[in-house]
Amino acid sequence: MTESSSEQPREGRRRNMEKPPVFAPDSSGLLSEDQFLCSICLDVFTDPVSTPCGHNFCMKCIRTCWGDSEQCHCPFCKEKFTKRPELKVNTAFREVVDLFKKKTVLDKPEVLCDACIGVKQKALKSCLDCGLTFCKSHLEPHDHIPKLKKHRLINPLENLQDYICQRHERPLELFCRDDQNYVCQFCTEGDHKNHNTVLIEEESGEKKSQLEKTQTEVQLMIQDRLKKIKDIKQSEELRKRNTEKEKADSAELFTALIRSIERSQAELFELMEEKQKAAEKQAEDLIKELEQEITELKRRDTELEQLSHTEDHLHLLQIYPSLCRPPHTKNWTDISIDPIIDLSVDILWNVVSQLQKSLNEMVTESEQRMIQQYAVDVTLDADTAHPKLILSDDGKQVRNGDTEQKLPDNPKRFNRSLCALGKEGFSSGRFYYEVQVSGKTEWDLGVARESINRKHKKVILTPQNGFWAMKLRNGNEYKACVDALVPLFVREKLQKVGVFVNYEEGLVSFYDAESRSRIFSFTGQTFTEKLYPYFSPRKNDRGKNSAPLIISPVSKTE
């Protein structure tokens, strides 16, 4: 049998699929075929149900799509339903669908009898052995003639030749797995002798099983993508809520900032008014003093004028000593009123620093609320802890027990440095956690990348070595662990430290969780692997540093 002939059945089926029946509008008022197809399975509806938005789906399809979720949405228009709709079969629409199915069957071209002469009757069966299609009357011999009873009868086919071997004119009842061809019994005695052949029904059964597996995979892919759509929409909705919240927080921040500026402006204006009043008082006093001197000078001028015309020479000589010199007055050469308000630099800087302080406090509080929404539940990983460290049963506390325990030296464990990591690693997004450090004189906190060397005698806390950390020494010396240690200023001794990471932005920040102020930030970092929370309670120092580090629940800022 040639390869072209073996492909004929599939080509015939393909030709039929390329011409689907059309259920066009007619006098019955019925609609087009597309309106009878479920948008999930893309097949004609089975037990159609309607969603509140008015779209129709198969009962099984929509239930599979929604799964066990309480909050559902229409797969077609994406409208969300806050409460899961109660689905019931739309009986009226089902009747229309059934009518469509019947009409589709009726619209298929009739297969006519090959044996009829003149007006051909509708065929009832096709005979693969005879290679002909028969109506009811011409099929009767196959019912009572013993030889014809053995013939293989199937539902009438228009393309019966596709099911007959063109070389031997016998039914194609076998499948050659070696050549991937349909063959008849005679073919197995010639070209396909000793080939692996099986009944078409057997091969079809296996192909159906494979198709069912493929269908299952496709359905799972559909579900995965529907879930992904759901996840994306949920993420977008969360992002939208966060954006709205940040906008509200920003508006609140700027409102508070404007109020602070107005207060500072009022204080500055009040100071300027006080300066102005003082200047006015000074000017008044100076003018009064000048007027007094002018009065005195005028009086002296009058006396001098009179004496210049006197004939009483004796009297002139007697008072001459007191009048020969101008009266004693102030030297007004360097005395003036500055037209510019004299506000000292110190006063202006004081106003600016107060404004900056208020702004920092407002920004930090807003920032604190923002990062707290990324709080995660961190637990210590016992497999990483140095043998001297003792972890609480809940994995939330770690302290130095001073005595080395007998523990397996697995690759994850620190065997030289007194430290441990969290169980949870993060390779994207943002996360925040808080650690209680009260009662301690030394500690290290931060995050570390997964590939850090855990077997060194001494861990060197720098970003180059995979650590982004800060530390406390000698009870009150706080430092950021960069190449050259950076001293850190804190208002009061830290009781609780917050650690925030933005993986994509390369940011690690440390906060005083009590005063809601930022302590230090590593910025512009590049993360390429998982980051793990890092903890070191350090040495006990004869009991002075025996308090544990405690991972605390994050208390949200109101």
User: Per-residue pLDDT tens for 396-412?
Assistant: 999 999 899 999 889 99
19-28, 371-380, 509-518: least confident range: 19-28
Nearest to 38 by CA among 53, 57, 61: 57
Tell me the average pLDDT across 544-555.
93
Scored b (16 or more CB within 10 A) or e, 96-107 reads: bbeebeeebeee
Q: Are 427 and 530 in contact (CB under 8 A)?
A: yes
Q: Using 50, 70 and 90 to split pLDDT, how confident is the model at 93?
A: confident
Instruction: Say what the alpha-carbon torsion angle 224, 230, 235, 239 is, to the nearest 10 degrees.
Output: 160
- What percent of the chain clears pLDDT 70, i.e. is strictly above it? 87
Instruction: Say what the alpha-carbon torsion angle 207, 210, 214, 216 is, to the nearest 10 degrees.
Output: 120
Tell me the average pLDDT across 503-509.
93
366-380, 489-503, 518-532: least confident range: 366-380
State the average pLDDT for the chain: 83
Q: Using 50, 70 and 90 to split pLDDT, how confident is the model at 342?
A: low
Q: Using 50, 70 and 90 to split pLDDT, how confident is the model at 348?
A: low
Q: Is the pLDDT confidence value at 226 over 90? A: no
Tell me if residue 536 falls in helix, strand or coil.
strand
Nearest to 510 by CA among 530, 489, 540: 489
DSSP 8-state class, residue 553:
P
> What's the rounded Cα separation, in Å, for the pair 420 and 121?
88
CB-CB neighbours of 390 under 10 Å: 16
Q: Which two tokens stand for residue 89?
A: 């079969």
340-344, 439-443, 472-476: least confident range: 340-344
What pLDDT digit, counting tens, does each position of 4-24 carry?
333 333 333 333 333 333 334
Tell me the average pLDDT across 286-312.
85
Transcribe 110-173 into DSSP letters. PPBPSS--SSPPBP-EEETTTTEEE-HHHHTHHHH-HHHHTS-EES--TTGGGGB-TTT--B--
Helix 345-372 crosses helix 200-307 at what angle (to 10 degrees)? 160
Highest mean pLDDT among 172-176, 367-371, 446-450: 446-450
Residue owning tokens 């544990």: 548
Residue 364: predicted pLDDT: 60
DSSP 8-state class, residue 53:
T
Question: Parallel, antiparallel, or unpaired: how do β-strands 174-176 and 197-199 relate?
Answer: antiparallel
> What's the rounded Cα separation, in Å, for the pair 447 and 535?
8
Q: Are 330 and 293 in contact (CB under 8 A)?
A: yes
Residue 347: predicted pLDDT: 60
Ramachandran quadrant class, 475 (left: phi over 0; alpha: psi -120 to 50; beta: rest):
left
Residue 113: predicted pLDDT: 93
Question: Parallel, antiparallel, or unpaired: how do β-strands 397-400 and 420-421 relate?
Answer: unpaired
Q: Using 50, 70 and 90 to split pLDDT, how confident is the model at 154?
A: confident
What pLDDT digit, counting tens, does each position of 411-469 carry?
999 988 999 999 999 999 999 999 999 999 999 999 999 999 888 767 889 999 999 99
* Max Cα distance, the chain (Å): 186
> What's the rounded Cα separation, in Å, for the pair 550 and 399?
9
Tell me the average pLDDT across 267-277.
84
Q: Is the pLDDT confidence value at 491 over 50? A: yes
> What's the rounded Cα separation, in Å, for the pair 159 and 327?
142
Question: Parallel, antiparallel, or unpaired: how do β-strands 443-449 and 549-552 relate?
Answer: unpaired
Q: How far is CA 231 from the centre of its chain?
A: 9
Tell me the average pLDDT across 162-168.
83
> What's the rounded Cα separation, in Å, for the pair 314 and 63?
135
What pLDDT digit, counting tens, does each position of 25-76 carry?
443 444 566 788 888 887 889 999 999 998 899 999 999 888 888 888 898 8
CB-CB neighbours of 134 under 10 Å: 23
Considering only residues 99 and 327, tell me which one the structure prediction assigns the higher pLDDT.
99
